Amino acid sequence: MTDQKRLTTTAGAPMPTNEHSLTAGNRGPVLMQDYQLIEKLAHQNRERIPERVVHAKGWGAKGKLTITNDISMYSRAKIFSEVGKTTEVLSRWSTVAGELGAADAERDVRGFSFKFYTEEGNWDMVGNNTPVFFVRDPYKFPDFIRTQKRHPVTNLRSPEAMFDFWAAQPESVHQVTILMSDRGIPTNPMHMNGYGSHTFSTWNAAGERFWVKFHFKVQQGHKHYTNQEAETLIGKTRESYQEDLYNAIDEGNFPKWKMMIQVMPEEEAATLPFNPFDVTKVWSHKDYPLIEVGMVEMNENPENYFMYVENAAYSPSNVVPGIGFSPDKMLQGRIFSYADAHRYRLGTHYEQLPANQAKNADVNFYHKDGSMRFFPPKTGHVDAYYEPNQYAESAKADPSVAEPPLKIDGDAARYDPADPDADYVQPRALYAEVMNDEERGRLHSNMASAMGPCSDSVKERWYAVLRKVHPDYEAGVRKAVEDDVNAISVTDDTPVEV
Ligand code: NDP
Ligand code: HEM
């Protein structure tokens, strides 16, 4: 006998064949006692789990963060404790609206998630390739996502729904401008920035709190496809990101991002003319300069896609001592939503799957049974399945990791934004000051293609939003829509050769 591995059942019994059903006679029907055939077919029927309700299509890699600058004056998190320190990372990038089989090179915002396996637990940075978001209140998130998904009658994506919603939602115009700009179709995840987008908090060893925004600056340079380039590419392959990313890492070309932060002292938030907890706004780089933290390098393809990328469960609720939340309403909504999604999509003990295990931390908790209870109790003592208890070895809470108290005051109410005109200021800066003429031209034409199928009333409502950003923006998109319509009617009039 060689050292050839023997095929077995899942219960470990050696299998005589993996090809021939047990039949009554050479041509006869299958016997029910061929349990391994039933097992094989039954497993196939259970190979799929629900796809993510958003961000279903994704690509991932393993890597590390190396700290290059001391920021311990802002955060006591151990991940930042010394220059040169490295921490393992699992990344997942994604498109927002596409389903699992969607083409990679579609125009969409890209998800940008890092799971840092720190020695004080997993810290998940679940961001996007854009610094802002479409809406600022979690009440609006499910409605927004419905406009991105299939129409209930046609079962098609609906530009009418998208622009109808955005036109009633001027806070969206900042993010929609980025989406329709060159950055709306990165050539692959290795050519885009990442942003935590929300304002988070950090606190240092002295208990001082800071408000912080996280940035991940791409080191390979920004690269994007035009609509036409993307259409041609999708005609050839729908999996261009997976191919590019997997092959780059396989060939040793490891993509990198410089991690940077913007920092605001806690008290300053109350003195500002704008709301620093509004995820539809950035903090100006001039007022809050970027501070270097470290370098993220992705250098390993996961040994199994499903096990590490599909099973990855990212959640903004996963923070570690020294990193915390902020009053941002959207962030507060997300703190509930993700773990709830994971319990539904993956199961009760999803944090114990290899992708999600806090493998560099000493993990102890009292959650007891339920589906996926495939690991021994982690309470420190076999009889300690409740707390408080008499057992010295059992896990106890550590008050030294408590966040400094946060003063919150104000009347409980449902507030409108103080200054709706503020929604136009930052998209105006992006349009008029950051973009050049060529970029503005492509923005006009990309937006015209996207809104071309909309009704005139939706178009007019959206033009009114663009006008408030900048009159040239409205004029440029209006002209591009009209040019497109004329181009279509010229084509329609062209005699068809038979
Ligand atoms: P800066 O001139 O300091 O920064 C402009 C930023 O815009 C750069 O970070 C650049 O990214 C980014 N950028 C360039 N083209 C695009 C695009 N098509 N879509 C999105 N971002 C792009 O200006 P301010 O900080 O004063 O901000 C001005 C405007 O820039 C903001 O209103 C906002 O719209 C946009 N912006 C600001 C960011 C911030 O955190 N302050 C972050 C991203 C955008 P890079 O350096 O990587 O090329
Ligand atoms: C995925 C909810 C806003 C980035 C998801 C998922 C849900 C969700 C339920 C699927 C999780 C899963 O099944 O694994 C929400 C809600 C939001 C919100 C309720 C607002 C209230 C945002 C914002 C960002 C963002 C503002 C970025 C700044 C992502 C990313 C993923 C994701 C990157 C994919 C994570 C992965 O790769 O697995 N979101 N989201 N979301 N969301 Fe959000």
* pLDDT tens per residue across span 387-401: 999 999 999 999 999
455, 160 contact by CB (below 8 A): yes
Amino acid present at 230: A
- Ligand 1 center to 62 CA (angstroms): 28
> How close is the Cα of 440 to the center of ligand 1, in Å?
14
Asked if 478 and 456 count as a contact pair (C-beta separation under 8 A), the reply is no
Domain ranges for the chain: 21-50, 58-354, 424-487
What is the identity of the amino acid at 162?
M
Q: Which pLDDT score is estimated for 301?
A: 98
CA atoms of 261 and 258, how far apart (whole Å): 10
| Mean pLDDT calculated for residue range 76-100 | 98
Separation in Å, CA 135 to CA 140, 348, 459? 7, 30, 20
In the structure encoding, which two tokens stand for residue 71, read together?
A: 């920021």
d(CA 223, CA 182): 9
To test the ligand 1 pocket, which listed residue (430, 431, 470) has its Cβ within 8 A of the most ligand atoms?
Answer: 430
With a 6 Å cutoff on the Cβ, whether 287 touches ligand 1 is: no
| Pocket flag, ligand 2, residue 356 (CB < 6 Å) | no
* Residue with more model confidence, 365 or 416: 365
Number of the ligand 2 atom closest to the C-alpha atom of 50:
13
Separation in Å, CA 287 to CA 283, 344, 421: 7, 42, 21
User: Counting ligands in written order, which one lies closest to the CA of residue 340?
Assistant: 2
Is the model's pLDDT at 496 over the cut of 60? no
State ipTM.
0.98
Side chain identity, residue 320 = V
95 three-state secondary structure = strand
Q: Which residues are annotated as catalytic?
A: 55, 128
% the chain with pLDDT above 70: 97
pLDDT per position as a tens digit, 231-290:
999 999 999 999 999 999 999 999 999 999 999 999 999 999 889 999 999 999 999 999
d(CA 104, CA 188): 8
Count of C-beta atoms within a 10 Å radius of residue 249: 20
Q: Is the CB of 90 under 6 A from ligand 2?
A: no
Say how many C-beta atoms besides its own lie within 10 A of residue 265's C-beta. Answer: 12
Pick the CATH number of 58-354 from 1.10.10.60, 3.40.950.10, 2.40.180.10, 3.10.450.50: 2.40.180.10
Global confidence as pTM = 0.96
Is 338 among the annotated ligand-binding positions? yes
**Residue 498 has what pLDDT?**
34
Chain position carrying tokens 């946060």: 406
Could you tell me if 209 and 203 are in contact, meaning their C-beta atoms sit under 8 angstroms apart? Answer: yes
Residue 495: per-residue pLDDT = 42
* Ligand 1 site, residue 291, Cβ cutoff 6 A: no
